[in-house]
Structures are given as structure tokens and as C-alpha cells.
Structure 1
Amino acid sequence: MLLASTLKIISGGQTGADRAALDWAIVHQVDHGGWCPRGRKAEDGIINARYKLTETPSSKYSQRTEWNVRDSDGTVIFSISPEIFAGTLLTVESAQKYQKPYIHVCKQLTDINPVSQLQLFISNFGIVNLNVAGPRASNEPEVYQFVKEILDRAFLPYTIYL
């Protein structure tokens, strides 16, 4: 059984996948947090203070990415395209470095049910602090809606029986 009320969403506040997870958490009163770059920097400007994020000492995105992986129990990477690149690739490398479990949930890989994939990942690894990562909105504009849809289907109405 997965309970959203026992979950904490960790994310860096960038547009796209990060922001979708944080917005989902706020709407559903799920605890959230994470690291963001110094100055609360994102591609659309300064990250809104409503997101409970802590600034890293560096303004570089890479420090935020690594620290969110390090401080979570596991990472889900959402994307529309199967290719992983740029900051998302750094997320994978950080998960490997810190020996943290991670999963890639991709909309274009239709042979796998993304909701079941996420539920099993969280259940199998006992994830409480879930780092959510993926492309920024300028790279994959559709990822925001995809993240919210999968989180809704995985956790609402808050109890899912596997």
C-alpha cells in the first residue's frame, strides 16, 4: 500500500519535471523540499518562495542536482523522450555515485505501465524521500503534465493497493 501522506517530494525547482512534482505536492498537501541553486535560479527566473527549497552554496545547477540525489532515498526521472541528456544525465551519474536507486519513467516507452513502474519502485526500495527529476520545460514542454498525471494516478485517492 502506498500512501502519499508518508511521502516527501524532493526536487530542485527547475521548470518542467521538478516544478510539476513540487506543484503536485503542494496541491495534495504532501511534504516537499530539496536543494535549489543559490539565488533560487531557474530558467524562468527566481524560484517562487512558496516552494520549500534550500539554496546551495553554489549557483550552479550541478550542485543542486547532486545534493537532491544524495539526500533522497531514490530518484524517479520523468521524460517524454527515451533519451537522457544534460542535467538529467547528471542525475543518473549522481545516483550511481551515491549508490541510490533510480528509475526512468518515459512516456514514449508504451510497453511499460508508468504508474505500476513508479509504484513498484517506491514499494520495493522503501522510498520515503522521493527525488523527482527530469528535463526542464524548454527541452520537453509536455513533461510537466506527464509528471502530474503519473503522480495523480500513482497516489490518488492517496491509497493504492499493489
Structure 2
Amino acid sequence: MADVSHTAAKTARVISGGQTGADRGGLEGARRAGTPTGGWAPKGWLTERGADPSLAAFGLREHASPLYPPRTEANVLEADATLLLGRADGRGTSNTRALCARHGRPVWGSEFMAKHDLLDAAEFVRNLPGAGLTLNVAGSRESRCPGLQERAAAFVAALLGKVAHGAE
């Protein structure tokens, strides 16, 4: 686990909608890096695997709607920027990208989360104005991209460390 005493002031919190895959990986990666988490989940803690009340332990709150799009918009609005991880052609990912554009929120995405993507994402976050930023992590579900949840967790933890410490 990262040394939480050195957590960067640049990124204060990571949020997501709690879905399997990119969302949950983002929360797990932030936790590994010692960064607080939160966000909005659909009413009933809905994920593709059913209700997941364990999301409350990540600081997520239940949205009034059981549908995915309203919680997606709430997370986009609460965040300073969004990271989209996994396949770019999914309905939810397309909706998130459109909501970021509609609300003037920066968005960065990667399907593979390779080393060069980590450098690019760190530059994206460093160039966001201000400090104490809230990053929304969204993207593909685990069923659409098997293994994404763990890859996203590792990517987000490494990204937060890189932004915090400027490590290469």
C-alpha cells in the first residue's frame, strides 16, 4: 500500500458508480493508494451481479433512481474530470463521454492501460487546474472486459502514485 502521508493534494478523491470492472477497479485502486473514495450508485446498489451494499464501505451513496444514467450524470457533475477505462464502444462509456462534453468536464480514456497510457494519464491529471481534485473513474463492465477490474485497480493506484510523487 502507498504511504498515505504523501498522498498528493492534486487528487483528493476518486469516485465512481460502483459497477463491476472499471468503476470498482477505480475505487479499489484509490484505496490501495490511500486516496478517499465516494460517488453515486443506483438505488438498491445495483451492479451487473445484483445488489452490492458493500459499495457503502467505499463512501458511495444510493442515488434516488435505480437506473444507471442518472447516477452516471451525478458522478460526472461531482467530479472535476473523468477517466474512462476499458472499451470505448460501450453504451455506458458513450453516455459518460457525452455527459462530460455536455457539462464541460474533461475526460481521458484508455482501453489497454499500458505504460505510455499511465504517463499520458498522469500528464492529463497534472494539467487539470487546481488541487484537491475529484476524479470520476468509469468505463467497461467486468463482463464486457474480463480482468478489467484488477487492471483498472492497478492502473489507478499507479496513476495516483505517479501524480503524487512525480515518479517515472
Q: Same fold (TM over 0.5)?
A: yes
Q: Percent identical across equivalent pairs?
A: 29
CA distance in 2, matches of 1:4, 1:13: 23
> Corresponding residue for 1:59?
66
Task: Give the total of aligned pairs.
Answer: 156
> Corresponding residue for 1:33?
38
CA distance in 2, matches of 1:76, 1:4: 19
* TM-score for the superposition, normalised by structure 1: 0.86
**Deviation of the 1:144 alpha carbon:** 1.3
Contact 1:106–1:114 (8 Å) recurs in 2: no
**Deviation of the 1:145 alpha carbon:** 2.2
Q: By percentage of residues, which structure has more helix? A: 2
Pairing partner for 2:103 from 98, 110, 128: 98
2:78 equivalent to 1:75: no
Segments of 5+ residues of structure 1 without an aligned counterpart are: none
2:39 equivalent to 1:16: no
**Structure-2 change in CA distance of 1:54 and 1:102 (3 Å):** same
**Structure-2 change in CA distance of 1:4 and 1:86 (3 Å):** farther
CA distance in 1, matches of 2:7, 2:119: 15
2:157 equivalent to 1:152: yes
Segments of 5+ residues of structure 2 without an aligned counterpart are: 1-5
CA distance in 1, matches of 2:157, 2:28: 12
> Corresponding residue for 2:144?
139
CA distance in 1, matches of 2:159, 2:125: 10
CA distance in 1, matches of 2:161, 2:104: 30
> Corresponding residue for 1:118?
121
**Bigger shift: residues 69-78 or 144-153:** 144-153
Contact 1:114–1:150 (8 Å) recurs in 2: no
**Deviation of the 1:29 alpha carbon:** 2.3
CA distance in 1, matches of 2:64, 2:157: 33
